Structure formats: structure tokens, C-alpha cells
Chain A
Amino acid sequence: MLRLKNVTIRNKLILIQVSTAFIGVLICAAFFLNNEINIFKDSEVRTKKSIAEIVGDNLIAPILFNDQDAATKILSKFKNNPAILNVLVIDKNGKTFAGYSKIGEEKFSFPKEEGPVKSKFLDSEFIVNYPFFLQKELVGTLWIHAEFADMNSIIYHNLKDTLIVIVISLLAVIIISIFLQRLISNRLLSLVTKTKTVSETGNYSIRVSAAGKDEIGRLSEEFNNMLEKIEKSEFDLKKANIDLEKRVQERTADLTKTQESLQLSEKKYREIVERVGDVVYSSDYKGYFTYFNPIVEKLTGFSGNELIGKHFSVIIDPEWKDRVAKFYQEQFDNRISESTFSFPILTKSGEKKWVEQIVTQQKEGDRITGHNAVVRDITEKKKIEDELKKSNERFLTIFNSNAIGMVLINLETNKYQYANEIFLTTFGYTKEEVIGKTSTELNIIEPESYQKVITLFKQQGFVKDFEAVVRKKNGEVFWSISSLQTIKINGEVFFLSSFYDITERKKNEGKLKEYQYFFNNSHDFITISNKQNYNEIVNPNFLKVLGYSEKELLENKLTDFIHPDDVNFTLKEIEKLKKGVDTTSFINRYRKKDDTYIWLEWNSTYDAVTGRMYGAARDITERKKSEDKFRGILESAPDAIIIVNTEGKIQLVNSQTEKLFGYKRDEILGKEVELLIPARFKQVHPGHRKSFYADPKVRPMGLGLNLFGQHKDGKEIPVEISLSPIETAEGLLVSAAIRDITEKKKVDEALRNSELFLNSIVENIPNMLFVKDAKDLKFVRFNKAGEELLGYSKAELIGKNDYDFFPKNEADFFTSKDKKVLESKQFLQIEEETIHTKYKGERILETKKIPILDSKGKPLYLLGISNDITDLKKILAALDNKTKELERSNKELEQFAYVASHDLQEPLRTISNYVDLLEEDYSETKNEIIKQYFTFITSASSRMQILIKDLLDFSRVGKNPVFVSVDCNKILKEVIAELESSIKESKAKITFSVLPVVTGIEIELKRVFQNLISNALKFRRKDVVPEIEITSVETESEYVFSIKDNGIGIEEKSKSKLFVIFQRLHPAEEYPGTGIGLATAKKIVDLHKGKIWIESKVNEGSVFYFTIPKENLK
């Protein structure tokens, strides 16, 4: 170390510089190398990271779609990058999805974090990872394990370069430092030499030659600067001395000038003083005037000359003299140099004026030499002040006597200065409690409200009608309307705050709101109208329902909206109100905007003072409709309907009531219902009424009560009454339906009579008559004949059936027939049925059974009418026997007639033959008598012959009945041919139509034609050519033949005898005949089951008809 001390600065410097340079270069080289390696590593890591990013993004789809093949394929591309040793793909669940390892590389187990692998001397391997996302969702992570390839060669190259740099730089440092050390030491030496010279000579103008801007250069420069400053300050000092002298001279000149101008200004001042509006005066120290300006005359009436030399007190108002003197004495004693004082003076004319005097003491040293004063006329001001004072006093009076609580508050401190009585009583404080406190301290007003007030005040300079809740001393709160304003009292400015209790008003406002709500939301109509009948206020619902705008409704007279028919009485109702009726209720119709009308029920009141009408109405259109409907129903009801209230007063009647009782509606409404009741019931009826109301129940009509009403004319009316209670808003009402049963009674009577009538028929009819119930065939009715026949009484029979009385077989029979009738609903005739009676044994009945149906055709009853034909049967049986007997005897008779006539022919023929012989023998005789006898005998025998023949024919009819087809045309022609001679003789005209072929006995039918035609020829009228017409008509079942002539005809009465055997209607002399012909014809027609009859008129002709049935026995 010592050795080093002795080394020259020059060499020291060189050594320092060389070693420093070496170390510097070495550090630099190391730093650069390290830097190089770091940059290399960073870039490697970044490269791998970006490879990871690219590959990772490509792996998103394979992972999401689980395509390991695709992933592996992508990873296989790493083989082109030998630095990459291992790659691993992990899905979001941490599971290995795919991997890659460089060939020959061991399987690598990846740590959990990325970074260098710390296994070798240098960090030659590292790991990066890249988590890849799809739409912010982790899909997987790619891990890459790689090595820093080529790092060793980089290090080697860097070391080599560093060595070369060190050698070169050291050489350079040695050369430069040798040169530089000389530069420094030379200049230092020169600086030291110069410093010494300056300090010795005191010559500050010496300068160091300053070269270069290094420290030595700067040191030289500073040295020079220092010298320069010293030199300059010496010069400045000299200059300042010269200036000072010059300024003293100037100041002296100025002073002279000022004095001159001062004199000038005094002169001016005096002029000003003499011309100002105020009195200016001077006085000596005792107060005697020494000077006045001319204004004094104006103020006092005295001239300046009059006053000069007088004491100032002469013009002062005597009352004030002492006070003024005292004031100024004080001023004087206390040496107060300036004072102002106001006092009244008396002018020359004795007028009192107020002045304000400003006095300035003139002093010489401490001694007062006199006074200067300015006096101003303040009379006007004083007056104003007085006024102000008075007004302030008045204010205070008001303030204290006001009904409104008021306080005066100090502007700055916000403290209460005054509070009036009302405030104190309202808030419950004493004066002492509030004065000096603020609102906030007293907690009179809520802080928010207070803030609001303050804000408002700041905005507009006052606060008016501020509503707030304020608090009393006892904590009670109330609504107050407050104001805050500034007020000047006695020249002092305060806040005036007032409080007015509006709790009541608030309450009323609330009520008003309720009213308003009610008004706006009421479903009723509310209007207020004026004297002129204009609506002034209407509620919304009124507008809504009517459909008008408010304007329309208010600008037209209210009568314009009322139905024309209702206007008059509406106005009458309004008049009533105006005349002093409290309220009126009425109903009218209002027209809506759409020109329809609604019914309104009004309740109105009237305010006589304002002339306003207050109306509330309700839409009762629906009610009206239903009322009308109800009224319609009521009116159309067939019964008289009366509605009565609990007092028995009639509330409502319909027109039927008017009709029934003969009263007009107005006559009975509101009257007691007993009006309509006959006098004999009037006493008891109210009792009935009350008991009904006590237990109101519907009482139907037709309970068989014998009730009567009374007509207006006093006539009693039989009635039926139904009662039903009606619960209504007005209480219980009773509706009575009253039916006039006069007619009904008559009808009942008639019905009863007709029933009686029918009953007597039923009862007295000889046939048994019974009625059975269709349901169970039990007897419901039995007549007397029935009782007699069956031997059972009605009482026994009714309600029983056949099985209760008759043997089963009979009952079965009856019942089966009954059922048949009821089922078929048809009448049934039972010709015969046997029945066992109680006393008469078995009887035979002929019964008719008739179903009795109801209006719908359903069987209700079975009516039976039975005829006891037991006796008839017996008679008929007897008759039958008789007939048979008769038939037999007839047959025998016929047989006898036949046999007789047959047997009679023989002797007759013999007689006839012998008579002929006799006649021949006596043909010459002239004996007329004999001849006559012969004639008689011959004619008698021939008649006899004819008679017998006819008789034989008659009796032969039906003897040998052979029915064949018979052509009537043929037999008619044969008949005409046989009768030809008589036809010719009589010149008869015979016409005929085509006749049918019938079934019958030919010969017999021919005989019928023969008999009838010959009959027609025989009974002709004399002188009339006989005309005979034969026709036939075919009917459904038979042929009707007719033989019409124009002969003599026959009397009606004789017709019955016509077809009787041996009956002759005419003497044989006129019309010969046996009286058998028509009987024979009849017998033949009978045989053919036909009929024969005649229609005839005397002297006009006859028509014989006979019929032959189509279907005939063969």
C-alpha cells in the first residue's frame, strides 16, 4: 500500500483507469452473455408457446368430438422440431387425450407448472403449457417439454469474443490515460497560481483562461464569475451614492411645490366650505362662534354676522340646552377630537329644527384651540325617523297582539330576539326559554323542513305560506303555515318568522279530499246548479253516463236535457225547493248524447242563500224497466192484485182491482184494506191481518174459505184470495191476489146440476152401468140397476174388482175384455156373457164396454153398460120354437094347398068337361036362363081352373129349386111372345134395356116377369095406350129390375096388401084376377133372397122393383 502511495498521480491514474476498464469490460461481457442466454431462452420459450397455441387451437375440435386419431395426427407434426421432446394433451377433466414423444426420448412425466426443468447444470430443458378455450370455456391444455438446443455453442462464441474485446480495450485505456492525465494536471497548476496573485494584489480584474467544460474548466469559470461579481458590486455602490444625492435635491423641490399647492388648496377649500349645503362654522375653545359660512342664514334665519361672537347654545332648543352642553363638555374633557350629535335648534323665527352637528376639535399640541363644525339640517330625516319609530312601535304592537305566532330572529346568529304571546302560548314556552335560542335548538321545526325554508329564502328572499309540521315544547306536533322574511325594526334588520296553526285546515283539506273522491267516484250523479237552472258542477259519472262533454252540460240549461214531458213537473219540484221544502225527490228522464233517455231518481236540496240547487240522482232506467215489466205483469194478471203493508194500508193495486171493486186507484191507495171488506168482517179482519204478518206464509187460493169482498156500491162479491208475503226494502208487504168467483160459483152450480142430472140418468137407467179405473180395473162407479142386478151395494163394489165378486173364469173373461178395450181404445160389444149374481143366480148379459180417454188419448176409465138379457133370451128361445112350429105348419099348409089344388084339378076338369058336353047338348036352347047358367058355370069353372093353377103355381114355387145362369133377356123375350095377344089387344108399347144374366131358377124368374108385365097390361087406364118399360140396374151386390107402367097406379094405403095372397084391390069385374100373381112373384123373389116393392101414384102409373142378389145359392 505504501508503495502505491509513492506512485505519482499520473501513474496512479493510469493504473486506476486500466484496472477499472478491465473490470468494466469483464462485467459487461458477463452481462452480455447472460443477457444473450436469457434472450435466447425467452425466444425459445416464446416460440414453443406460440407453437403450443397454434397446435392447441387445432386440437379443440378433435377433443370436443373425441377424435383422438385426428389429435395424434396433429401432434405427430412435432417430429419436425427436434427441440420438442414431449407433448401431452389433457382434456378439461384432466384426462390425457393424446400425446407425443420424440423418438428415443424417455416418457416424460410433466410437473404441474410450467417453467425450466432443473435437473441439469444449466436449465437446458423447459416446459410450457397452453390451455385452450372455445367460447371462454376450457377445452383442454397442451403441455410441451422442449430443450434449448444450440445453447452451448452460443456460450462458446460469446466467451471468445469477450476475450478479444478485453485485450483491445485494455491497450486503448493505457494510451488514452497517459494523454489525459497531462491535460488535467497542467490546468490545475495554472488555476492555483492565478488565485494566489488575486489574493495578494486585490486586483479583481484578473481572469483565469478557461478552456474546456470539464470540472476544471467549470472551476476556472466559477472563479472568473466570482471576480466579476466583486468588481460589479463595487461599481453599483458608487452609482447608488450619486442617485441618492440627486433624489434629495428633487424631494426638496417637490416639498416647496406641495406647500404652494397646499396654500392654493386651502383657498379652494374655503370656497367649497362656503358653498356646501351644510352649515360650517368655527368656534373658539369655549364655544363662541368665530366663523360661519353663508348657509347659516338659510338654516337658522340668523346671518353669520349676527351670530359671530355668540355662544353656540343661543340657538339650541332650550329643552336640549343642558343635554347638549353636557355632551360637549364630555367631549371636551375627554379630548375626543371628533363627535357627532343631533339636537333641535330654534331658528330666528322660533321654528324648531333638528340638526346633526359634527364637531372637530382644533388642537395645538394638547391644547384645544377651537372647534370646527358642520351642521346639517336633519329635521326631515328626524321626522322620518320618528315616523319609523312610531311604525316600529305599531309593528311591535301588532307583533305582540297578533293572532299569529311570530318571532323575530337575529340575522347573523339565527337566535330568537322576540317572540309574541301567541307564539309562546301556541308552543308552550315562556319568553325566557326561547329568547337567545335558535329554531334548531328548540327543535320547533324538522331539520328537512328547516333546510327547505332556508333554501327557499335564499332563492327568493322570503318564504311564504310554507306548510310544515312544527313541534311544541311538550312534543306535540301540529301543521303550521309559516313565513320567513326580513324586517327592519328601529333600523335593525331581523328575520320575522310566523307560525299559524292550520291543523284544522289540514283536517278539513283531508275531508275535502274525501269529499272530492266521493264526488269523483260516486256512481250516482251529483250536480250543483244555479238560480238560472244551469248546471255549474257535475260529477264525472254524470258526464260518463250521459255521454256529454262537461262544456256541453254546463253551457246549456239543465231543462234542455230533460225529456219534454218531464220538464214541467221538474220545474215544479224546483219551485217547491225554492219555496222552502227541504228536499224533494222526483223521477225524470234525461236525454243522453245518443238521444236515448235514462230515468233518473233525484234527491235535491236548495240553498236559499246562494240560490244553488244540490242534486244527486241515480240511474233507475233498469229499475224502471223492471218496474214497468212488473207493472205490466201486474196489470195483465187476471186477478185483482193488492199489495198491503204491515199497517194494512194499500200500497199498490192493479186495474183488475179497480174493475172488481169499482174504486179508482186514487180512492184506495193508502187506505186501509178493510175498505174492501164487507161490514160484517171489518171487525175481525185486522186481527187476521196481524196474525198473518206474525207468521207470513204463502196461502194459495181455493182453500174453500168463504171469502167476500165489497164493491164500492156495497154489493158483496164472493172471492178467493191468495196471499204471499214480499220482503222489500220498505219492510214486509203482502200481495193479495183476489179472484172474483161469482161466475165460478154459477158454473159450479150448473156443474152440480148437470152432475145431478147425469147422476139421476145413470142411476135410473134400467141397464147396469159401471165404471172401472183403467189402472187397476177397480170399480169407481155403479148405478142402482147394477146394484139390483148383482145384489151388491155400491159401498161393497166401489174400490173392488171383478175377482172380489165373481168366479175366477168369469172374472178372467171380464178382465180380458176390459184390457182389450183399454188397449185398443175401442168400443166393444159383448153379445153374451154370464155372470153370477148374489141373489139372482146366473144371469146373461149383453155388455158394451167403452174406453174413456183423457185429453191426450190415454185411457182413464172403462165404462160398461150391461143389459140383462136372460129373460129376453128365454123369450127368444120360445119365439124360435114358435117360428119353427109355424114354419112346419106353413109347410104342411103349403103341402096341403098343393095337394088340395092338385087334387081339385081333377074334379074341376071333369065338371068342366061335362059342362062343355052339356052346353053342346043345349046349344040350341032358347032358354036364356039356361044359357046364362052355362055361362056362369063355364066362367066359374074356368076361374076355378085359373085359381087352382095359380094356387098350384104359388105353392109349387121353391119346390124344386135349381139355380142356374139365367139370361133375363131371353126369358123376357119369351114372356113378351107369350103375351103377344094381350099386348096387341091393348096396343101396349113395351120397351126394355139389355138385362143381365143372373143366377136363379129360370122358370120362376120368367113367372115373375110374366106376372109383373101382365099385371101392367091389366091395370091400364082406359083410353091410355099402355107403355111398359123394363130396365135393370146393377149395384154392388145385386141387380135391381124395374117394370114401369103408366097404368092406374095404386093408393099408398093399399101398398101393404099388394103382395098378400088372395088380396084383390079391385073388383074382379073390372080387373079379373086371382090375387095370387103378386104373392107368387114375391114368393119367388124371396126364394132368390131378393126384395120386391112398388112405387106408385094413382092415375099416373106404378113401378115394380125387384132385386136378385149377384151371389146366389146354387
Chain B
Amino acid sequence: MVNFAFKLMLRDLRSGDILMLLMALIISVSTVTTISLFIDRLQLSFEQESANLLAADRLIRSDEAIPKNWQFKARELSLKQARRTSFGTMIFSGDALQLSQLSAVTDSYPLKGAYLVDDTLFARGQPSKQPPKKGEVWLSSRLASLLNVRIGEKVEVGELQLTVAKYLVRDPGSSSSAFAISPRAVMNIRDLPSTKVIIPGSRVRYSLLLAGEPVDLENFESWVVPELKEGQRWRTPVEKGERIGDTIVKAESFLLLAGILAVVMSGIAMALASTRFVKRHLVQVAVLKTLGATPKVLIKVFSIQFVILFFTGALLGLAVGWGGQGVISSLLSGLMSTSLPEPSVGRLWLGTITGLVSMVAFCLPMMLRLIKISPMSVLHPSRKLEKNSLALYSMGFIGIYGLMCIYTKGFLLPSIMTLAMLAIGILVSIVGWMVFKLGRSLTSGATSGWQIGFASLYRRLLPNLFQLLVFTLIIMLGLVLVGVKSSIVTEWQEQLPVDAPNHYLFNVQKDQIEQINASTENLRVLRSDWYPMVRGRVISVNGKSIQTLYPEGKGEPELYERELNLTWSHSLGKGNKLLSGDFSADGLSIEQRVAKAANLSLGDTLTLNIGGNIVSLPITSVRSVDWSSMQPNFYLILPKRVLDGYSANFVSSLFISNENAQPFYKSMSQHPTVSILNVGDILKQIQTVIEQLSEAIQLVLLCILIAGALVLIASVRATLEERLEEGALLRVLGAKKALVQQSLVVEFGALGLFSGLIAAAGAEACVYALQVFIFKSQASWHPLLWALGPLIGISIITAIGLFASRIVLKVPPMHLLRDF
């Protein structure tokens, strides 16, 4: 039986039907494989990028020296380790001295990522995997400028002299030092004891950095976390890279969406190919039945063919998919600053499952129906298949839905997409039926291409509605991706323009503001408003003290954990959005995330200790804050009258280009009390990630659009035969080529136009839902979609249709008629 089934299949290959099915399967498996492997590589790359920020896979931060047994345990679990000890200290050079943030690191530091160092002040930097050698120190350009030292010269740290070996551009894992305001320096930890700067009571931050296999890290985490005391924290890259975390999450959602669309398109391709297969095998099966093939035999034959088809298609699809992601990655390699990690073979299951599910959901039920065909249909050709049952369609639908859920590991995204497709189905049926009917009644007769075109649209109403649905879905899916892509990328670009602030100025006194304004204006530096800053601490909520609410400080929300920077402002700052309440009311304005974490809402009263004075204020507004805007932002904004009496420091953020850096630092040296915080490194990293992601999603979009075009071609081919037959008949009856051509243009053009329009409407609705529920961003209109939809619809579908139908215009009609 295997032999017979195989032989029959091989012979069938010549007809092209099995080949179509095989092609659909290969497209299905390879598209999903390409995208899932590519996403996998990007995710690994994001993780590495995040690890760069942490300089490790995991980190423990402690206010006390790291216990030795933690290091032993890490060694026992074969984890790589490094240590960093950071503290503020004076660095001396001759008469110059400067408070600096110094990190002393082990030779193994950094475990992930690299330092960026240079031999020139304020240069871009070259990567270095090694920290400073014993006896050396690296100074940030700003620190070197302030101390007026150059490479090769000596500086003093405590009792030790160290040689300046490099200018430090980026310090991996130092983003926390962004909040340490002093300029940075790095030295080798082996020199630390000789400096004698760390004495009991010094404020030192100790870090143990770890890298290794995920399972070992998890084991260590579950062992060490219960050991953590106050002042000790376990950190993961995601937390650390919070700022870029949001961007990455959005990009991942986009790629998942792209993957889902690939799955849906594969499903459509499979359904089309299966329908064509069944249609063309009706007679074959009926004849086989008259020849004595029993249902059991046929089930066996088709099952064997099914299995052979699956394995062949899946293997070829996986191979093509593997190659495809390689091509995408190599295309991207020129654009991306880092090379992508190798894809993992383990991810291949997704493509395989997609192939299997789409075959089981679309191909198998069709084959089973085929087997049920009555042998009587050889005598009565009108007796063909029983009507498609709801159960059959449901199976395809459930299959696709299930795949999407597996793919996204969730229900929200698949549900949005499925609902959108259902709505489109209903819309297409109603609009299509009305338009085709109207078109037919307006153009009765058979003398022009318009009349023939609309007549044939109306005559084959059901197949045409189905085709309209397929066209609409594919165009819609493409448009959804275009819409989401452009809104994500635009949002990113808006969020982080090239001139996003990269420095903060702290500890500025009121009388210094004018001078600083003048010097920054001379340098044409962009600066945000000045915000006054007063320190204060929340001591009770609605009359209950924090100590009562959180004895021993356990589970304390961030808002109560430490002293806060308080400000006043008459207007909402950049990146702030009022969510509820009245910002101008005489009360507190609170940031929504901290409010939620502390379970606070409008009307709750917070009591603050500000410089020894106790102030109670109700919460009168809740704001959302875009923390990635790099603007000075505050958890709490108080009324001006409350803070008026306190001496405030002022803060502002500004963008300083590389060229302006040196003159700026020079001008700032006149204000030694002002602290400058350089966040340029973090920004640079975020911008790199965003650029990479933008490029990546554009390439993935291109892949999906190509796959979509292939499915469109398959869909046109699916109904080609009837159109060819009709064209041939028209030519036999004396119709000129131009008339046949015109009627085809009308038919495909109308299908294209309406599918494009409905797709644009569907895509707009879908993008809206995705923006609101998935990407949590501002919903916006996309005029581009409304232009692209009909344009793509008319041009591509007409072009594909005419190209596929060119045979009807070329070949003598007799040949065509004989074939039917």
C-alpha cells in the first residue's frame, strides 16, 4: 500500500497539485521558521545588550562586603564571577583635586560587554574587554579635564599613585553610576588595599557579578535570595535595562505579531492549496472508487501521502527557513553594531508544529471529505462534495488560533487578530455581495469588458467572495504590520531624538542659573526648564505612619523607601500626562506607577517630612511620566506655596554634542559646586538598540510582504481555471483579445479595489486595538494605510491576475477548451 500511495503521489506531482500543496507547506514552515529563528537571535542579542548594561548575567549589590561563602557557592555552580567595589573619593593631581566615583574591579570584569576607552579626550572609544592593569587608572574625559592630567601622568588615590592609562568612555555596568553625580574612574581591585581609602563607615557599594548557564544562575538565585539582608539586592538584566526594556518588549511584540501573521498567511496558503487539490481530485477519487478502492484503502493511501508530504515539506521548509534567517541576519550584519548570536536548533519545533497544525487543520479535513465523495459523481458530475460544514471551517480557525496562542504564549494578541479576521469576514460578505450585485445591475449586457467583468463577478458570487476575503485578509495583515511598524518606529524616534538630553545639571543654586544659561546659550546647547528640588520623605499615609504600615521596612513601596526629590511646577512637564484629577489644585501630583505600587489614589493624604517640617497634603492629580524622555521627572510635585520657604537646588537636562563637550566642561569648571551627570552612554546604548530593532522589523516586514504576495498569487491561481475557460469561450465566440483583457482587468481590479478598501478599514481598526492593548501607546490615524490598501489591491492583484491569465490571451482557444 505504501508503494502504491507513493507511486500515485509521484505521478500526481506532474499535475502540479501536490506540488502546490508542498509549496504551501514549505512556505508555511519556512516563513515561521525564518521569523522564529530570527526573533530568537534578536532576543539573544537583546539579552546580551542588556547584559552589557549589567556587565554580567546577574548581579548582587550590597552595602557591605560580599560574604565569601556566596563566592564559594557561585564557584561550586561553575558560575563566572567578577567583583566591583564603588565609592566616592577624592582624586588628586598636583594641586587639583576632584570628588570622583571610583570603581575598583577584578581582572575578570566585565563578564559581559566591554569598556569603551580611548587615548584622546572626548573621543568615541574602542572596546576593551580587560579592566585597567595593576598600577593603572582610567579617568573619564571630564575627570581628566578637571584634574588637568593626560595619559601617562600620575594621579593619587588615597596613599597610592596610579598612572592614567586610558580615557574612559563607557563603563559597562555603570548605568547605576549615572545616579552618582561625580565623574568616573576605574582602577584594578588589587591596588585597592594600598590606597587605604576604605575605612570603617565609608559609603561603599560592593557588587558581585555572575555569568553562566541559565539553570546554574537560577539555582544560585534560589539559594542566595533568602540570604539577602537589608541593603542587598539581586538584579537581573531586564530590571537593569528598564529604559530599553520597554523598547525591546515592543519590538518583541511586533516580531511576534509578524510571526502570527506569517502563521495566518500560511494557513490561508494551505487552505487554498488544499481546496485546489480536492477540487482537482474529485474525479480521481470517484474513479478510484468505481475501480474498487474502498474507503479504508483510500484513507490509507491519503494518510501515507499526507505523512510523506508533511515530512518532505517540513524538512524542506526548515532548511529554507534556516537559510532564510541566515540571509536576513547577514543582510542586517552591515547595519547592526553587534553581530547576532547563533540561532538555536531548539527553535525549529515552532515551524514544524505550524506545518503540522496547518496540515491537520486545513489539509486533513479536506482529504477526509474527498474520501467521502460518492462514486456516483462519475455519472452525475453535479453531485460533488457535500457543502463545507461549519465544523470544517471551525477546525481551520481553531488550528490557526491555537498556533497563534502557542506562538505568543498568550491569548490577547491572537484574540484581537482572530476577532479582526472574523469581522472582516462578515464585512467582506456584506459589502462584496452588495457591490457585485449593484455592479451587475448597472452593467447588464455583454458587449464591454465592464459588463463581462461584473457579470462574472456576480455569477461566481461565492468563490469571488471567498477570494475577496483572502485578498482582503492578506492585504490587511500586510497593512497592519506596516501601520504598527511605522507607529512604533515613529514613537521611538520621537521618544529619543538625536538631540535627546544627555546631561543633567544638579545642585544648581538660584543665583547660578543665569550664568549657566548664558554659557549654554553661547554654546547653543538645548536645555530643558529648570526645576527646583527640595528633599523630603513620606512619613505617613492617611494618618498611619509608614513604620506602622511596614514594620521593619518589609515590602515597603519605593515611594516610602528613601528621601525623595520634590519639586513644584505650574505646568505639566514634557513627557508628563495628566491621568486624573486637577494638576493646578492645591495638593500633591503623583506619578501613576509609584501611586499604584503604594496603592494610593486621588484623595489619599500623604504626610511629608521636609527639612524637619511636617506637611500633610491630599493627592489631587495622578500623572503618567515617560521616564525614557530623559527630562527631569519627579514622583511627587507639590504646590509652590509649600516648598517656597525652603532653599532649593535646581536641576535641568541638556544635550551636549561631542564637539561642545570640552568647552562646556570648561565653562562649568567655574561652578565647582554644580554636579554634572552624563547619561550619554546609556542614551547611546538605547539608540543603538532602537536602530537595530527598527532595521530588523523592517526586514521582517519585507519577508512577510513577500510571503503575502506569494499567497496572493496562489489565490489567483486557485480560481484561474474557470476564468481561463470563460476567456477561451469568449474568444471562441469571437471576442477580441482586448475585450477579454478588459474584462479580466475589471474583474481583478474590482476585487483588488474592494479588498484594498476593506483591508484598510480592518487594518486601521486592528492597529488601533494593537496600539491600545498590546503596545500600550497612543492610538493614531494612519492615512498611509488608506492610500496603500486600494493601491496595493488594484495594482498587485490586477498585475498578478493578468500575468497568471496571460495564457488565455496567447494560446489558441481550442487548446484551452480541450483541456477542460
Q: Are A and B genuine complex partners?
A: no
Q: Which residues of A contact B (CB under 8 A)?
A: none
Q: Which residues of B contact A (CB under 8 A)?
A: none
